[in-house]
């Protein structure tokens, strides 16, 4: 009985490793800033709450804190190749959101490129 259980555990461990290798990990380039608002592990789990809190503070109360602004995140994390956080599959936001199977909808309204890299609109 012990050998059957051991064989089953070994098989499950092997298949779990195989499954983990099938999903490509997010491709995160180096950030340009000196230090993020918080540690990476905290940001992975809580960035949306920080962004929502900052949105409420800015829109409803008129308080702007550049340390927790979407613009600050974009300035630091935009890809050197595309100049964006959401233009290509390997860009910062899209890469993580694809990995987590979460829709990123910030850029339906907000620019995904730092201010100096946006294209002028033809009139």
Range of lowest pLDDT (21-25, 49-53, 86-90, 104-108)? 21-25
Is residue 51 situated within a structural domain? yes
Is residue 76 situated within a structural domain? yes
Report the predicted TM-score, pTM, of the whole model to 2 decimal places.
Answer: 0.67
With 70 as the cut, is the pLDDT of residue 39 above it? yes
Is residue 73 situated within a structural domain? yes
Name residue, tokens 């059957």: 4
With 90 as the cut, is the pLDDT of residue 56 above it? no
**Among candidates 83, 86, 82, 84, which has minimal Cα distance to 96?**
86
Is residue 61 situated within a structural domain? yes
Is residue 63 situated within a structural domain? yes
First to last CA, the chain: 77
Structural domain boundaries enclosing 56: 36-115
Is residue 111 situated within a structural domain? yes
State how many domains the chain has: 1
**Among candidates 74, 82, 93, 65, which has minimal Cα distance to 119?**
82
Is residue 16 situated within a structural domain? no
Is residue 93 situated within a structural domain? yes
């Amino acid at each position: 009985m012990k050998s059957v259980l051991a064989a089953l555990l070994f098989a499950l461990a092997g298949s779990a490793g195989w499954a983990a290798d099938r999903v490509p990990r997010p491709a995160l380039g180096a950030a340009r800033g000196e230090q993020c608002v918080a540690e990476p592990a905290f940001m992975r789990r809580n960035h949306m709450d920080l962004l929502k809190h900052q949105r409420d503070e800015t829109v409803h109360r008129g308080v702007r804190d550049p340390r927790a602004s979407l613009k600050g995140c974009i300035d630091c994390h935009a890809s050197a190749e595309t100049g964006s956080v959401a233009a290509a599959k390997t860009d910062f936001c899209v890469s993580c959101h694809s990995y987590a199977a979460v829709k990123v909808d910030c850029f339906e309204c907000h620019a995904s490129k730092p201010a100096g890299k946006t294209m002028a609109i033809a009139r």
